[in-house]
Structure formats: structure tokens, C-alpha cells
Chain A
Amino acid sequence: MSIDFDQAFRSAVADPAALKTIATIDEHGVPHLEENNSIHLNGDDRLVLLELNEYSRTNRNLVRSIWFDKKIAIHLRSKGRSFEVVASPYKVVIAGPVFEGYYRAQQEKGGDIALSTVWLIDAESVTEETAPLRFAREAAGRLPVLHLDRLARSPSLPA
């Protein structure tokens, strides 16, 4: 089952203008990134992704992930803040009331739109990746890489 999400993340994933990208890996370990703005949280706090194309690389990689317990990642950027979710696919939904609900919603939104699969995804961790926070977190406790010209009394020599 999923983790506790804080309000900042919930706001980001619910933002219709957010940029949402899913990262999966193929059988050779090669990463594949794809934007997918359908990503959202459902009532059970599971992430949901709507896949329109049964034959997409993302869909095949997600099948590989659920089959062989491989992790995926989702990146969100909303209103100047970024988040990375490490997750595992939990379930494929291709029929039944959950699928039908999303299928109908897709059709109401845009007419004759295909929907192949509804993916239910379990988040395992969420990390804020907004740049200043990320730099601070990554540099914490480390010897800074500080070029000495930045500390010099005299100005740098001209090129």
C-alpha cells in the first residue's frame, strides 16, 4: 500500500498545469521518459496513470516492472516546486467499473479517445527535488567544492 503524502505533494499532483513525467526501464536497463499528465491520486491514495496506447514503450516497461518487481519513477513540476516519486506498479485495470469510469471521463473530455489501460501505482517514497532544497540536501555534511578564485582578495585575471 502507499505512503502518506504531504499537502505540498498533493497540491502538485492535483495541479492541472503540472508537468508530469514517468520514467521506466526496458529489458536492457535503458531508461525511457514520457510525459503523462493523467497521473493523479485516487481515493485510496494510489497513483493512477492512464495509458492510451497498449503498445507504448512505457506500457511495455510497466508490464516488465510489475512482472519482475522493478521500480519506476515519476517526476512532477508544479508552481516552481518539483517532486520525485519512486514507485512500483500495483495493478493493471482493463475492464470493470474502474476502467469504465475513466473511459467515460476520457470520452467526455475529448470525444473518441482510446484508453488502453488504467495503471494503479504504489508510491514508496516522495522526495522534493526543487533545486535549492535538492542542492542543500545533497551537499549537507560534504566538503564544498569551492573554486579559490571566488575567495581571492584580488579580482580574477582577465581572460
Chain B
Amino acid sequence: MSVETVDRAQQLSYQAVVSKYPDVSRFVILKADVQRRGVVYTERALAQADPERHLMQARSIFHSIGEKNDQVPVSLLLRDGTSIVTGPRPDAEAPYTVDLLDGRVVLTDEGRILEEVEYWPKPDFVSQFTSSGRPMWQVATPRPQRMDINPYAYCHYWDDGKGCKYCNIAAHYNKERKTHQKPLRLDPREVSETVGAAIRQPGRFTTIGLTCGSILGDGELFAAEVDIYIETLQAIGENFSTRRFPSQLVASAFSPEQLARVHEQTGLLTYTSNIEVLSEEKFNWICPGKAARPGYREWKRRLVQAVEIFGAGNVNTGIVGGVELATPHGFLSEDEGLQATLEEAEDLASQGVATVSCVWVPVAGSVFHKQKAPSLEYYVRLALGLDGLRRRYGLLVDMDSYRICGNHPDTDLSRI
């Protein structure tokens, strides 16, 4: 079916996809569709959000919530523990609605109740300050079980305009540094203090995630980025009694020598380097900067080499699921896009690298902001395909599970 002719009226609805795929959890299908379409809140639903109990402030490299008086629930939890990572979507065409009905906070679509939802609970550290007076919620962004730290807020692939076309990191940082004085770099001391405060809360966090944009540098590619991560991870490590601690680094495609340094000099446990698009041709168009340095094939090669350093089950790559269908140069049909993506994912899986996917959201500030994501059915088929590959090749994806990241419909399927 041609992507260009399938508009929303022709795509299968949520209920139709649930009926068509009875072996796929309706919770996971719903999560994917809420991410596709966005979510808005009624006033009475917002009235149930309590800044003392619920997370209503977050600062990430792609969006911010609650910087001033714009506090809304940062994200949602479904009854089965599935997270729906949602960001502000003021331009969403047909979002789901969170409402308060019969005394319950529920997700609705055109007035029909689909499921109960819960706002993410607020961890204790979010209300605290570092010794230099910075609110800790500006240093680490919590998910239900993972805290995310962005040591650096920008991506230097945008220096010459060759950043990834789906990504808004540059536009977001440029806006935030002017309006909210967001720093380019986090002070490792403040990161260490924040992590120390966060892990004092019993039972709240099971891992720490670090990511930022790519830092190309003038000399060896990514050397400056490696240095920043090592310094930050060493500062974080001061808080732990063990050599290694549950942690995930989502970074550029470091060379084996660079990765070995990170592995030896820090307590990092797992490594992710997002190849974003699993097609060399589409990668070259969508991610021109990454295509030039280090290139698609080298990115793949470095992922495979990373497995030798971090071990099986501790390396994966992420893709922006659906962006391979962007117009005008993307795949012309969902079948074609899916087949190409899964073929490449299988090549990586056969070499010990799992692929995980998020749902592409054409956001403001990105080159692709006026595009449309593919159908919900595409995301279900993609999730099934990626989960199926991992089962076939015996690859575990605990490092990116529903309770670690919570942003991948395919790893949600891997719970059973």
C-alpha cells in the first residue's frame, strides 16, 4: 500500500488493529498510538495532577515541561506498568484525551474510555537543590525506574545544518538557552550530587541513562564526547559501592578504542548507539551528518565491535521507527519500509546487536515537522518483527525493557 495514499481515514483504527492482532497486547498497541497521535488533558484531568505527588517538571534534550508555569503531567502509566513517554504536542491533529470520568483518570478517544492511566509518580530528589542552588529536576529527568542525564545539550551535526531531519535537539537547545538559560553542559559535581540524592529513595530507580547530542570535535571524531561521558560517569560512580552500576550510555558510534576507554575507566554497564534508520540509502538522506562521519557501514561495524567489549545483551541500537517512510525520498510503501528495516535488523541481530524502535513523532523544530508518521498497524508489525528477531537469535533486551526505558513498543512485547 502506498504511503502517500493512506491517510488517517483509511488507516486501521486502534480498535481495528487490536482486533486484527489478538496476540499483541492492547496496552502496547495503545501506547504506540498515543505516542503517534499525542495526548491532551481536560481541565478536570489536570486538576487531578498534584505537583507534590506527580512528576510535572522535566528537562530533556528534546522538550521541557514545567520550566515556568506550564506544569502538566510529564507522562503516563498504564495498568500493566507500560509507560507512555509523551511530550508536549500542541500541533497534534487528533490527540487522545486524558479525562476524569467516574472518579478515574482515563484515556479516551472521541469520548470513548479506553483505559485507566496514572501520572508518573514524582521521586523525592526532584524537589531538592544542588549545593550550587540548581533544582535537581534540571539535572536529571526521572522515568518510573530510570533517571536520565544529559551531560551536553546540543548536537554538533547541526553546526553545518546536517543534523538528522527528524530531530529537534538544536532548535530546542537554542530556544531553551535564551528563554530558560539552559546550560550547554552539566557540571559533573551537580550530576554526582543529584544521583546521590536520587538513589537515597528506596526502590525508586534501577538504572541511570546518559545521552546527549554528538560532539564531533576538531581532532579524532567523538573524542571530546567520550571525555565528557567519562568525566560524568566517574562522577556518578562515586555514589556506588560497586565497581559497575546499572547504567546505559546512548551515544555516538565510538571506535572500539574509545569504547574500551569508557568501559575501563567508568562503571558503565550497557551501551547503545542509535543508527536511527536501517537503510543506508535512507540514512544518507535523513542523517547526512552521520552519513559523512563516520558513515552507515562504519556505524554498523562499531556496533558489532561494541558487543566484544560490553558483552552479549549489553549493546543495542535504536531506530526512529517510521522515519524511513518520510517523503519524498523514503520508502514508498509500508511493506517496503518494514521489509528493508527488518532485513537490516536481522543482519545486526545475527551479530549480537539488538534493535529497538521508538515511535517517530514529527516534532516542531525538526526538518520533518510537517510530515506524518505511518499507520498504527505499521508500528505493531515493526514491534512484532523486532521482538521476533530477538527471540530467533536469543538476544535479550533487558537493558531497554519496559521498566528501564519504556519508550519502545517492541521491548514491551519482550516482557513475556
Q: Are A and B genuine complex partners?
A: yes
Q: Which residues of A contact B (CB under 8 A)?
A: 27, 54, 60-61, 63-64, 66-68, 90-97, 99-100, 103-104, 107, 115, 117
- Asked whether any CB of chain A lies closer than 8 Å to the CB of B144, the reply is yes
Q: Which residues of B contact A (CB under 8 A)?
A: 22, 25-28, 53, 77, 79-81, 118, 120-121, 144-145, 201-204, 403, 415-416
Contact A104-B26, Cβ < 8 Å, known A92-B80, A94-B145: no
Q: How many A-B pairs with Cβ below 8 Å?
A: 55
Q: Which of A27, A115, A117 contacts B416 (CB 8 A)?
A: A27
Contact A95-B121, Cβ < 8 Å, known A67-B25, A67-B80, A100-B201: yes
Q: How far is the CA of A88 from the CA of B22 in the complex (A)?
A: 18
Q: Is the CB of B202 within 8 A of A95?
A: no
Q: Is the CB of B144 within 8 A of A100?
A: no
Within the complex, the shortest CB–CB distance from B113 to chain A, in Å, comes to: 16
Q: Which of B26, B144, B145, B415 contacts A63 (CB 8 A)?
A: B415
Contact A67-B121, Cβ < 8 Å, known A92-B81, A104-B203: no
Q: How far is the CA of A117 from the CA of B145 in the complex (A)?
A: 12
Q: Is the CB of B203 within 8 A of A103?
A: yes
Q: Is the CB of B203 within 8 A of A67?
A: no
Residues of B within 8 A of A96 (CB): 118, 121, 144
Q: Is the CB of A93 within 8 A of B204?
A: no
Residues of A within 8 A of B204 (CB): 95, 100
Of all chain B residues, which has the CB nearest A107? B202
Residues of A within 8 A of B201 (CB): 100
Contact A64-B203, Cβ < 8 Å, known A93-B81, A94-B145, A96-B121: no
8 A-B pairs, CB-CB below 8 angstroms? A54-B403, A67-B80, A91-B79, A92-B80, A95-B145, A96-B121, A103-B203, A115-B203
Known pairs A67-B27, A100-B202 / 8 extra A-B pairs, C-beta < 8 Å: A60-B416, A66-B79, A67-B25, A94-B144, A94-B145, A96-B118, A100-B204, A117-B81
Residues of B within 8 A of A117 (CB): 81
Q: Is the CB of A64 within 8 A of B121?
A: no
Residues of B within 8 A of A91 (CB): 79-80
Q: How far is the CA of A117 from the CA of B28 in the complex (A)?
A: 19
Q: Is the CB of A67 within 8 A of B81?
A: no
Residues of A within 8 A of B81 (CB): 92-94, 117
Q: Is the CB of B25 within 8 A of A92?
A: no
Within the complex, the shortest CB–CB distance from B137 to chain A, in Å, comes to: 16
